[in-house]
Structure 1
Amino acid sequence: MNHWIKITPLADIPRLGSRVINSAKGEIAVFRTEDDQVFALHNKCPHKGGPLSQGIVYGDKVACPLHNWKISLVSGDAEEPDEGHTACFAVKVEDDMVYLEL
């Protein structure tokens, strides 16, 4: 059964940045875009396992810090011509608090 876990106030995630949450499913990177959308991905690039939380966020993508693979924050898919996928997790913001569904 899935349930929502309170993570952090939205203000604690920098715009164009992320926070890492340790869970039973491994490290999860929670990203905030410039327009305050929030996304969550497994914190490993599908290419070589680079820490996506340390990448550059732009639009609805993050660039892996190791080899600049572009990963969609929406789907977890690598941008062509690269191929691969990292797991996505549902997030929501209510009353300026971020919640993660596990």
Structure 2
Amino acid sequence: MHWVSIGQIADIPQRGARCIETPAGKVAVFRTGDDRVFAIDDRCPHKGGPLSQGIVHGASVTCPLHNWVISLETGKAQGADEGCVRTIPLKVEGGQIYIASNVAVEAA
């Protein structure tokens, strides 16, 4: 797998997110309270809410529109809700975040 640099982990606040644009739409890159990073489509499977504006707790994010909880690890809706968002492979080396190149990042 090939990787593309998208920035430093320090650029994302703990329990926060940043967005990047791709040809397939916005991708939200999250940093958890314990400094793990995850990337998922920035669109809730329920009504398309911006997940990057949600509340990060543990390895999940709560959509700001209707409180759906989405796993950052699997992209699946939690609890009684059903739906899924795409997860995108990331890795961190020396504080630098890399995203899988097959996502074809346009801008970081």
Q: What letter corresponds to residue 49 of structure 1 in structure 2?
A: G
The unaligned stretches of length 5 or more in structure 2 are 104-108
Question: 2:12 corresponds to which letter in structure 1?
Answer: I
RMSD: 0.8
The residue aligned with 2:43 is 44
TM-score by length of 2: 0.91
What's 2:28 paired with? Answer: 29
Is residue 55 from structure 1 mapped to residue 54 from structure 2 by the alignment? yes
Give the partner amino acid of 1:71: I
Report the counterpart of residue 76 of structure 2 in structure 1.
Answer: 77
Q: How far off is 1:50 after superposition?
A: 0.1
Runs in 1 of length 4+ with deviation above 6 angstroms?
none
Return 5+ residue gaps in structure 1 as ranges.
none
CA shift at 1:5, angstroms? 1.1
- Aligned partner of residue 92 in structure 1, secondary structure: strand
Aligned residue for 1:20, secondary structure, equals strand
The Cα of 1:24 is off from its aligned counterpart by: 1.3
Deviations 1:31-86 (A, max 9, x none): 00000000000000000000000000000000000000000000000002000000
Normalising to structure 1: TM-score of the pair? 0.96
Match in the other structure for 1:15: 14
- Aligned equivalents of 2:92, 2:51: Cα separation in 1: 21
